[in-house]
Amino acid sequence: MMSSRLNIWIYISFVLICVFCKSIARNRNTLMELSPQEYFSILQTGKTSLVYFSQDVSLDITIFLEELKKAAGPLHNYGISVAKVNCAKEEASRYCGRENDWTKAYLFRGNILLREFPTDALFDVNAIVANVLFALLFNEIKYITSLEDFENIENAMKGKTNIALIYVRAIGTPEHRAVMETAFVYGTAYQFVLTTETALLEGIGAENSDVISGSLFFFHCKLVLDLTQKCQKTLLEQPLTILNIHRFLKLMDAPLLTEITEDPEKVSTIHLQLGLPQIFILSQENTYEMDKRTAEIVAWRLLGKAGVTLLLKDSSDLNIPAHINVIFKRAKEGVPVDFLVLHDVNSIISLVENNIPIQNNESVKEYEEGEMETLNLGVSNMIFSRINCGDWSNVCTKQNVTEYPVIKIFKEGEKPVIYTGMLETEYLLKFIRLNGISCPVKIVTIEEAEEYLNGELYKELTSYSSVSVLGIFSSSMIKEKENFIEAGKNLKGFVITGFYSEEDALILSKKYAVTLPALLFARHKEGNIDSILLSNSDAKDIIQIIKRALLGIFPEITVENLPIYLRLQKPLLILFRDDNLNHKDEKEMLPLVKQKYLETLIPCWLNVKTTPVGRGILKAYFKHLPPLPLLVLVDLHSQGQVSAFPLDQTINEKNILLWLQRLEAGLESHITTLSDEEWKPPLPAYNFLSRMDATVPYTEIAQFPIQNMLRCAKTTDLQQHDKGHSEDKLGKNSI
């Protein structure tokens, strides 16, 4: 019953730890070493004691003695003293004599022998405490082996006492000890029932319980008055430790449903004290009975997980909005309560039970591991985890995840945020870091505003957002400010935004020479600040204004940012380089860029070294790789024409302008025109219909002419594609 491989291992490890330990003490709290005479005088006091009689101390016994020593303290707490009696060689009493084989320990109450234990059964401190208490609690704790035994107890307890049914893997395990220690305290309050039979668990319909270590079921029999009815049961979902059991029993003892009229903010309940949430269901006089029943249903389902209280609205003078029907209070102090409108019991339950199973024990792919590591380095206060929606499809559905992969950030007390950008470490890191501050930031002093603008305020974040946006409003511009706040929230994670709307906003207005309301753009890299007037702009407009201001005037095109520029629907004037921009390029290009003439174009540059796919693009334009630098005009949106600045000319302001004018006048020829071909299926599909027809012609089995079946099809069978019917354009016409 008690020897399992695990125990042997515990045993061996204790051998290693304890073999060199040696200490002797006479404190009651520890193992007493007594002579037989001393011992027998103690017996007369009528106390309970666990005694080992020893003569020679062999190695095996040393280990036992060490464990016995450890057990002395805990057992003393229950009024049990532990002693080792040193028998003299010549001693010949009953316990010290020859017949004693030194492999037993004895439990006495006064001088009555209650039990003798083989030292094997007392293999460690847990086993000693568990076995001794188990023996003393013989009447309080029923040990059973069959379902029938249990059903008899259950029937006997109905209407009288609740039952704690405990399964442990074996006698003497740490779980067993925890149960015994608890039973010592609660022994009379409940009927404790102990079993080591897993079959019994299955019999009560609890196969899902923890058969590895142990489990505890609380049977609510006291409430059951109808003897044909089963007792409801609640499973302790935590491991069997003294603390967990104690806490659990306390929760089971708490009233199922309480009623209050006070302010939930000020109420303290046993659940809150134990770190569990409290749910207040609001009720009024005319619906009281029904609300109470609802609350009871909720309470039963949340038993052991949260407290439920009926808040009587009519008899309280609380100012709670009329439509609110549930208040949710967390155990954490200082966290305000949530006022909720919930439409069914399940939503109340899910408030408490909405914990997401997270799968993180699976071996993470090398790629993701690398990314995670980088992210972990950048963001230390966040836990990264993955959910495989293939396994947890119900969780993903609940989270409204329909495309993969999706990254969501969950923060206590906040709505989850979905990351909508590129799957790229730097971008994600930026998003996470910028999400760390509450955008837009409220700036309250002029000094703070200056710090914000010169990048001091969020120094560590300016590398993620090279532009900080500050909205300035006079204190009366309420609507304008609200629009800006909405825009700032929308851009959260992408750019730092802040606003200033104090009385002295005019100081900033004067300093940056703008009339209010206005936006200031502090470009930290360039070290300059521009301003834009905001007149009659709603949140959407403001978002557009900010987004536009974030675009560079002569940007480097990368894989990540191209879509932003493509959205502007203008031809791209791209300078291909195989390195970074040099001073000369800038000297030629920057004045050009600022000219009105180029407003219809997007002048930009591309570094084929950092964006190697640029070479592929050049190869597509030229069929080979031309020498760089090279200037190309790509008109993606009207004709798809690509023109190249003549290779034999120097790239300078004057020549470029001239070339652009000649292009416009149609004097320059294009090097290529981009294909406007649709993206068709790359390969044909298996035509199963024709294969079936080849076996059994459909016309033979059809009871209906096929043509009618396809009446909304413009032409014939689509899958004749792979038969080479080139006139088949059906898919295109019909969908």
In the bound state with other proteins, the residue whose beta carbon lies nearer, of 60 and 373, is 373
Pairing type for strands 467-472 and 496-500 reads parallel
Q: Partners of 496 in the beta sheet?
A: 468
Please name which of 21, 20, 51, 17 lies closest in space to residue 33, comparing C-alpha atoms: 51
In the bound state with other proteins, the residue whose beta carbon lies nearer, of 1 and 712, is 712
Contacts of residue 625, Cβ cutoff 8 Å, sequence gap at least 6? 615, 618, 619
Residue 363 to residue 716: CA distance in whole angstroms: 50
In the bound state with other proteins, the residue whose beta carbon lies nearer, of 157 and 303, is 303
Which contiguous run of DSSP H or E holds residue 506? helix 505-511
Q: How far is the CB of 499 from other proteins (least distance, A)?
A: 26
Residue 18 to residue 124: CA distance in whole angstroms: 11
Q: Which two tokens stand for residue 666?
A: 């149609």
In the bound state with other proteins, the residue whose beta carbon lies nearer, of 474 and 611, is 611
Residue 601 to residue 171: CA distance in whole angstroms: 83
In the bound state with other proteins, the residue whose beta carbon lies nearer, of 20 and 704, is 704
Q: At what angle do helices 478-490 and 539-550 cross, to 10 degrees?
A: 50
Residue with token string 């549930």 = 326
Q: How far is the CB of 165 from other proteins (least distance, A)?
A: 16
Q: How far is the CB of 235 from other proteins (least distance, A)?
A: 9
Contacts of residue 623, Cβ cutoff 8 Å, sequence gap at least 6? none
In the bound state with other proteins, the residue whose beta carbon lies nearer, of 563 and 666, is 563
Nearest 5 degrees, angle CA 566-CA 570-CA 576? 70
Q: How far is the CB of 464 from other proteins (least distance, A)?
A: 16
The count of C-alpha atoms lying within 13 angstroms of the C-alpha of 195, restricted to the half-sphere facing its C-beta, is 24
Q: How far is the CB of 625 from other proteins (least distance, A)?
A: 4
Q: How far is the CB of 221 from other proteins (least distance, A)?
A: 17
- Secondary structure of residue 710 in the 3-state scheme: coil
Which contiguous run of DSSP H or E holds residue 167? strand 163-168
Contacts of residue 591, Cβ cutoff 8 Å, sequence gap at least 6? 653
In the bound state with other proteins, the residue whose beta carbon lies nearer, of 279 and 472, is 279
In the bound state with other proteins, the residue whose beta carbon lies nearer, of 55 and 641, is 641
Residue 474 to residue 497: CA distance in whole angstroms: 17
Per-residue DSSP letter, 57:
-
Please name which of 286, 353, 281, 271 lies closest in space to residue 311, comparing C-alpha atoms: 281
Q: How far is the CB of 424 from other proteins (least distance, A)?
A: 3
Pairing type for strands 80-86 and 48-54 reads parallel
Q: How far is the CB of 428 from other proteins (least distance, A)?
A: 10
Answer whether 668's CB lies under 8 Å from 640's CB: no
Pairing type for strands 307-312 and 278-283 reads parallel
Residue 35 to residue 47: CA distance in whole angstroms: 17
Pairing type for strands 80-86 and 32-34 reads parallel
Which contiguous run of DSSP H or E holds residue 460? none
In the bound state with other proteins, the residue whose beta carbon lies nearer, of 273 and 287, is 287
Tally Cβ neighbours within 10 Å of residue 656.
23
In the bound state with other proteins, the residue whose beta carbon lies nearer, of 331 and 601, is 601
Q: How far is the CB of 477 from other proteins (least distance, A)?
A: 32
In the bound state with other proteins, the residue whose beta carbon lies nearer, of 20 and 367, is 367
In the bound state with other proteins, the residue whose beta carbon lies nearer, of 184 and 300, is 300
In the bound state with other proteins, the residue whose beta carbon lies nearer, of 484 and 621, is 621
Q: How far is the CB of 374 from other proteins (least distance, A)?
A: 9
Q: How far is the CB of 411 from other proteins (least distance, A)?
A: 22
Please name which of 230, 269, 275, 271 lies closest in space to residue 252, comparing C-alpha atoms: 271
Distances (CA, A) of 471 to 171, 493, 522: 71, 17, 11
Q: Partners of 599 in the beta sheet?
A: none
DSSP sequence for 589-616: HHHHHTSGGGGGSEEEEEETTTSTHHHH
Q: How far is the CB of 439 from other proteins (least distance, A)?
A: 19
Q: How far is the CB of 519 from other proteins (least distance, A)?
A: 23
In the bound state with other proteins, the residue whose beta carbon lies nearer, of 178 and 252, is 252
Q: How far is the CB of 637 from other proteins (least distance, A)?
A: 8
- Secondary structure of residue 82 in the 3-state scheme: strand
